[in-house]
Amino acid sequence: MLDSLLTHKCTLVPKHFFDPSAAEDALREVVKLDGNDNVKYVDVPQYDAVLVYSDYDSISGGHSEALPEMLFILKDLAQCREYNKIVASYCDGILYLAIAQGKSLMLANTYKAQDFVTAEYFIFLAMKSLQLNPEVSTICWRSPVGKEDELSLYRYFKAVEQI
């Protein structure tokens, strides 16, 4: 996994709706910001969108110049060979998940998940809401997946790959 900022405080805004002067307001609509949060944004041209995020790194207790994990998740969707593209990371109790069909982004979200079983629950819930069948889908992971967790995923998915 590349060096990335592990922040669940992010949102994807369609480029034609994005106003740089209102970036903080856009993020505040979806997450609770506090005094440590410094709002930044980065273009996501492949989806004609802008990723708005907080650059506060709760692990180091400071602001980070690293780009957010969600940006790498979105970029890595292109590496999936299947029509249903699923990319995830699970780090520090946060699941980062993006799902696309072909070139259409269907979902990009983060979920607080205290353990891997809860992360799996969110993956299956997202897939069900998009009417995707895991049995014919490959899930790609940016973060390392333990052997036991990988075996659990294989019970539901056609394949489990590491990016």
Residue 83: exposed, middle, or buried by beta-carbon count in 10 A (0-12, 13-18, 19+)? Answer: exposed
Tokens describing residue 46: 């492949």
Mean pLDDT score of the chain: 93
The string of pLDDT tens digits covering residues 90-114 is: 999 999 999 999 999 999 999 999 9
Going by pLDDT thresholds of 50, 70 and 90, the confidence category of residue 70 is very high
Q: State whether residue 106 is helix, strand or coil.
A: strand
Cβ–Cβ under 8 Å, residues 94 and 8? yes
pLDDT tops 50 at residue 160: yes
Say what the pLDDT of residue 87 is.
98
Say what the pLDDT of residue 88 is.
98
Q: State whether residue 92 is helix, strand or coil.
A: coil
Q: State whether residue 122 is helix, strand or coil.
A: helix
The string of pLDDT tens digits covering residues 2-18 is: 589 999 999 999 999 99
| Helix (H) / strand (E) containing 129 | helix 116-129
CA dihedral 24, 25, 30, 31 (to 10 degrees): 50
Indicate the pTM of the whole model: 0.92
Sequence-distant (≥ 6) Cβ neighbours of residue 76 within 8 angstroms: 87, 140, 142, 163
> Across residues 118-129, what is the average pLDDT?
97
